[in-house]
Homo-oligomer: A and B are copies of this chain.
Amino acid sequence: LVRSERFLASVRDLASIGATAGGGVHRLALSPDDIRARKQMVEWMEEAGLTVSVDDMGNLYGLRPGRNPGPPILFGSHVDTVPFGGRFDGAYGVLAGLEVMRVLHEHGVETEHPLGLAIFTNEEGARFQPAMMGSSVAVGKWPVEEAYAVRDQEGIAFGDALQASGFLGERRNRISRPLCYVELHIEQGPVLEAAGKTIGIVQGIVAQSWHEVVLEGEANHAGTTPPSRRRDPLVAAARWIAYVHEMAESSEGALLVTCGRIAAEPGAVNVIPRKVAFTVDLRSADEVRLRKAEEQMFAWGDDLCRRAGVEKAVRRLHWAPYTPFASGIRELIRESCLRRGYTFLEMPSGAGHDAQHLAGVCETGMIFVPSREGKSHCEEEFSADGDLVKGAQVLLDTVLGLDRT
């Protein structure tokens, strides 16, 4: 059984590194506070008897040998945060993994397979884009050279920041093919809370499609340009945004749509804009439906732009297919809940996670615990102690279950 006091104290201690006045955590990837948090984790992992290794992306692995050699059962998450983020996003899964290792260590448990606690670098993608950089390189999905070349807003290359952090390790330390991977995470949404359930058994991660749409018309005087002479990209953008949200509304929850960014140039009250750029984030648990939604949006947009005399340029920023999780792992999570008497819900994850990349190379699963009011990526992010402890217990049960099978 996990030891609640010890575990919750570690959650508090790690949250003090980069703590904000508002009760959150500000710990951007490879910032001084992220480096302090990593050093703290290395210390704790070594105290728990783990052998710590670092790969060429700065991913940290705390390894524990098993009776048999071979690839480890891996579990973990990340310790970086978004700006003024919460105390649990990422850190919770890592510290629950540490607690699993501590429990096994103090009871001298010997497992069949090696176990590994993973702390992936730059999951959030807040400082360096894209998100989930560390895991995508570790599994061989993305060339490390490209990751090194990515620059933050101040022009600092990821490779240089990694070198300076002291956490640049060796490529041969990557765990590219673990035996399996489990990630415990806060839900970041309101579903579990609303359903009154404690544990989310994650069925998979929704398919994601991100685009930037740039519309170009003609800047002109707001007072002297008659309607017939206007080629106004902001009117077209407004109609586009309204349309994709109507698509979402008529999908009965099958399609989520978010336009997060918009900018108009030149941006004066009395000048018809020349150019408008905005983003569209489409998600669905049904990948075929998502592709169809993209097609529908672009067909409608083509027609709109033709009628509005506006030029359109579209750039795909991100695509992730639907990532289903292994039924065996979902079954082990369910067994743990039934045995302990924890309520649970089978549900998809609307957010991307490192588990998405791991699922490409091994059997993978995720466990969620409730987020109060569904808030995340903000200082108000909160999950109750009781739920945090139960989630850690389910992780322990699941890891031991995986070891047996």
Binding site for B on A (CB under 8 A): 187-191, 206, 208, 210, 219-227, 229, 232, 234-235, 237-242, 245, 248-249, 253, 256, 258-264, 267-273, 276, 279, 281, 283, 317-318, 349-352, 374-378
Contacts and interface: CB of A to CB of B under 8 A. Distances in A.
A243 to B, nearest CB: 9
A221 B377 contact: yes
Contact of A253 (B227, B234, B267): B227
Given A189-B221, A220-B374, A264-B261, A226 B206 contact: no
B256 A227 contact: yes
Contact of A267 (B188, B260, B272, B281): B260
A366 to B, nearest CB: 13
A260 B271 contact: yes
Contact of A234 (B188, B208, B241): B241
Given A210-B270, A242-B235, A270-B281, A224 B262 contact: no
A245 to B, nearest CB: 5
Contacts of A271: 258, 260, 377
Contact of A269 (B227, B242, B260, B378): B260
Contacts of A188: 221, 223-224
Contacts of A256: 222-223, 225-227
A205 to B, nearest CB: 9
20 contacts: A190-B229, A208-B223, A219-B378, A221-B374, A222-B256, A222-B281, A223-B349, A223-B352, A224-B350, A224-B376, A227-B249, A227-B253, A229-B374, A234-B259, A238-B241, A238-B245, A242-B242, A261-B264, A269-B317, A269-B318
Given A210-B269, A224-B350, A226-B189, A262 B262 contact: yes
A260 B221 contact: no
B260 A264 contact: yes
A340 to B, nearest CB: 25
Contacts of A262: 234, 262-264, 267, 276
Contacts of A191: 224, 226
B241 A258 contact: no
Contact of A225 (B261, B273, B374): B374
